[in-house]
């Protein structure tokens, strides 16, 4: 059955998409080659041709609550085969980023992350904050040690020799990132609630499901069932022309998982067993951290190389921002470790300051940056599984 579109063109939305790298969308003459070429589009109402039509009409409401835009894995196969050079893969990427901005709150942060002129501010704010923490740690360390000692808390977790905690108190670092993580989780939770309701209402309106309400338990079961698909990048691997992108993508994903595991273990070691770092290089958890850090650097460099090599693919600021943050995170982390081992204390502390700024940018702006696609896509894949949309 053909779909009915309520046509309410939004010219500002078309301009926004063009600014996000979809400047070719009007070249589409609706031949449907892309939908045939896409290896992962469902047979029932495949993408991305219908999204190209909707985008050229500026149908913002229809596109932003579509679960299908998130099923695309941005492999670029369709763009390679489009006879008009309309680059549907890039258009879908722009639509997704616009949806991230739409769902995330507060809006001023979403706008700041998208605006290259605001980049110095995004670096300066955490930069000044961590410089202040370093100043307090260095100048008031002894006083703080005494005050905390009287209430039975160990203030400095720094070991002997060069230790990051001697420059940035572990307490300060944790008291920055723990509340920040909670805020990010709340923002994501509220955004995802609206997102799931919208894609469900859209699916009902388009006749893709006959379930009027969402069965949360079944949706969570679907979420659990698609986690192996996400971890193995099964969908990404179904793409053909650009399979090399899957390798870089997997390296970055697994390095984040590895670093999260390492951080969790060392938190337990520090706060439960009261053993401060730095930890021995012979420690297997340390190996995991070093391997994950190296994989993060290599994976992000491969992503940058792939982008630079694809002359026909548009890379907007949103793409470079997140790649820059990920690469900075990996590089500063590895260099902090290497200079610490080499005994260059000042260089180590400076690199660790840069590392903290990179972590802050990754965490604080996660709901607003392109990285949010991990959460939205996983949710949309779970909804597709729940709705039996194969
Ligand atoms: S984007 Fe390209 S391949 Fe897809 S329908 Fe338009 S012209 Fe055809
Ligand atoms: S970029 Fe890849 S996954 Fe996305 S629509 Fe095109 S072919 Fe399909």
Selection from 235, 329, 251 nearest residue 40 by Cα: 235
In this prediction, residue 42 carries a pLDDT of 85
CA distance 212 to 292: 44
- Taking only Cα atoms into account, the Rg of the chain, rounded to an integer number of angstroms, comes to 23
In this prediction, residue 151 carries a pLDDT of 67
CA distance 366 to 372: 6
In this prediction, residue 331 carries a pLDDT of 96
Average pLDDT of 219-229? 92
What's this model's pTM, rounded to 2 decimal places? 0.82
Q: Which DSSP helix (H) or strand (E) runs through 328?
A: helix 317-342
* pLDDT, tens digit, 9 for 90 and up, residues 99-115: 998 998 888 988 899 89
* pLDDT, tens digit, 9 for 90 and up, residues 241-272: 666 778 888 899 999 999 999 999 988 888 88
- Whether 196 contacts 222, CB under 8 Å: no
* pLDDT, tens digit, 9 for 90 and up, residues 323-340: 999 999 999 999 999 999
In the structure encoding, which two tokens stand for residue 331, read together?
Answer: 């590089």
CA distance 10 to 3: 19
In this prediction, residue 378 carries a pLDDT of 93
CA distance 152 to 155: 9
CA of 221 to the centre of ligand 2 (A): 26
- Residue predicted with more confidence, 238 or 84: 84
Ligand 2 site-directed mutation target among 24, 28, 41, 241, most atoms within 8 Å of CB: 41
Fold classification of 11-102 (topology level): Fumarate Reductase Iron-sulfur Protein; Chain B, domain 2 (1.10.1060)
Phi-psi label, residue 274: left if phi above 0, alpha if psi -120 to 50, beta otherwise: left
* pLDDT, tens digit, 9 for 90 and up, residues 22-75: 999 999 999 999 999 998 888 888 999 999 999 999 999 889 989 899 999 888
Domain ranges of the chain: 11-102, 110-386
Q: Is the pLDDT of residue 155 over 60?
A: no
In this prediction, residue 388 carries a pLDDT of 75
- For the Cβ of 74 lying below 6 angstroms from any atom of ligand 2, the answer is yes
Ligand 1 site-directed mutation target among 22, 23, 24, 31, most atoms within 8 Å of CB: 31
Q: Exposed, middle or buried, 382 (CB in 10 Å: 0-12/13-18/19+)? A: buried
Question: Position of tokens 């958890």?
Answer: 285
- For the Cβ of 26 lying below 6 angstroms from any atom of ligand 1, the answer is no
Ligand 2 site-directed mutation target among 21, 39, 42, 48, most atoms within 8 Å of CB: 48
CA distance 341 to 326: 23
In the structure encoding, which two tokens stand for residue 138, read together?
Answer: 């260095």
Q: Is the pLDDT of residue 298 over 60?
A: yes
């Amino acid at each position: 059955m053909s779909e009915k579109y309520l046509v309410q063109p939004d010219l500002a939305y078309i301009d926004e998409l063009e600014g996000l790298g979809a400047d070719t969308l009007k070249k589409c003459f609706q031949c449907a080659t892309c939908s045939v070429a896409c290896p992962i589009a469902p047979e029932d109402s495949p993408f991305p041709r219908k999204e190209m039509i909707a985008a050229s009409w500026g149908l913002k409401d229809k596109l932003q609550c579509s679960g299908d835009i998130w099923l695309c894995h941005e492999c670029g196969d369709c763009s390679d085969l489009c006879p008009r050079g309309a680059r549907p893969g890039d258009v879908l990427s722009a639509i997704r980023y616009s949806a991230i901005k739409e769902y995330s709150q507060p809006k001023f942060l979403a706008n700041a992350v998208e605006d290259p002129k605001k980049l110095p501010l995004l670096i300066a704010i955490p930069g000044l904050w961590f410089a202040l923490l370093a100043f307090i740690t260095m100048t008031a360390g002894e006083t703080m040690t005494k005050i905390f000692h009287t209430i039975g808390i160990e203030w400095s977790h720094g070991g002997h020799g060069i230790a990051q905690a001697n420059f940035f108190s572990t307490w300060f670092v944790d008291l920055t990132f723990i509340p920040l993580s909670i805020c990010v989780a709340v923002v994501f939770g509220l955004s995802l609630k609206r997102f799931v309701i919208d894609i469900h209402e859209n699916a009902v309106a388009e006749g893709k499901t006959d379930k009027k309400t969402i069965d949360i338990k079944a949706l969570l079961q679907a979420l659990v069932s698609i986690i192996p698909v996400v971890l193995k990048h099964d969908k990404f691997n179904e793409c053909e022309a650009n399979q090399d992108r899957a390798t870089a993508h997997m390296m970055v994903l697994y390095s984040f998982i590895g670093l999260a595991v390492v951080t969790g273990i060392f938190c337990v070691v520090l706060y439960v067993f009261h053993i401060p770092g730095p930890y021995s290089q012979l420690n297997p958890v340390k190996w995991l951290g070093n391997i994950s850090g190296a994989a993060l650097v290599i994976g992000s460099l491969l992503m940058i190389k792939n982008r630079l090599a694809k002359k026909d693919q548009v890379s907007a600021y949103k793409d470079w921002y997140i790649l820059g943050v990920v690469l900075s995170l990996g590089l500063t982390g590895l260099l902090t470790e290497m200079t610490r081992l080499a005994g260059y204390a000042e260089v180590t502390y400076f690199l660790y300051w840069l590392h903290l700024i990179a972590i802050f940018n990754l965490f604080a702006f996660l709901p607003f940056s392109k990285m949010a696609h991990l959460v939205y896509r996983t949710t949309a894949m779970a909804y597709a599984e729940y709705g039996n949309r194969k």
